[in-house]
Structure 1
Amino acid sequence: MAETKNEALAAWMNDHQMSAAELAKAVNHAIRDLTGKAGSTSERTAFRWLSGENQWPQGRQRRALETVTGRTAGDLGFVPRGIGGPPHRRRTSQCTAVGSSARPPALPSPYPYL
């Protein structure tokens, strides 16, 4: 699937002269302030946001990003799952008749009294 780069987040980072590592660190601090527990956002996660590979961050990361930037996730170029992008095609299962020879033999029960 072709991802669309997150130009809005990249522009914000450029305007604030912030690297992916610095953004991840700021998000982790904001997560700690919001939840009381240290965040685990990595530089790689920030790169995934920028590349469009991850288009909707996890809830606490999203709230922390909004706290750090002062902008909503939508303003930062993120798109909620199920909105935007090509529709996903789900596989449909088809039941076909199979002869009894395709079934594995029944194993004897280890509990004969059941």
Structure 2
Amino acid sequence: METSECSTVSVLQVANELGYSPRHLQRLCKQETGYSVGGLIRIRKMHTARQLLENRSMSVKEVARMVGYKNQSHFASAFKDTYGCNPSRLNHSYQLTDSVCPG
């Protein structure tokens, strides 16, 4: 999934692309990965966001919008739930280590 796709992808789009009904895709996904499709989409968004923040060429607000969050505080909360640290901490860190933001 490319960064631009990451911001707008939906369960329905993924199901249609793979040729499954959304319900069937949800069942398969949960059975095979332990995550819902929406959960996997969120994981991918957070992975993309972390990569962008580690690059340090974009602000947290820009990254949040790029991965599909209109509200920066919702993005920060989702990022912290995923990685255990605030995205601004990772963005401003000079030495990126797991102690800064485990991942």
Instruction: Normalising by structure 1, report the TM-score.
Output: 0.27
Higher relative contact order (CA 8 A, sep 6+): 1
User: Between Structure 1 and Structure 2, whose CA radius of gyration is higher?
Assistant: 1
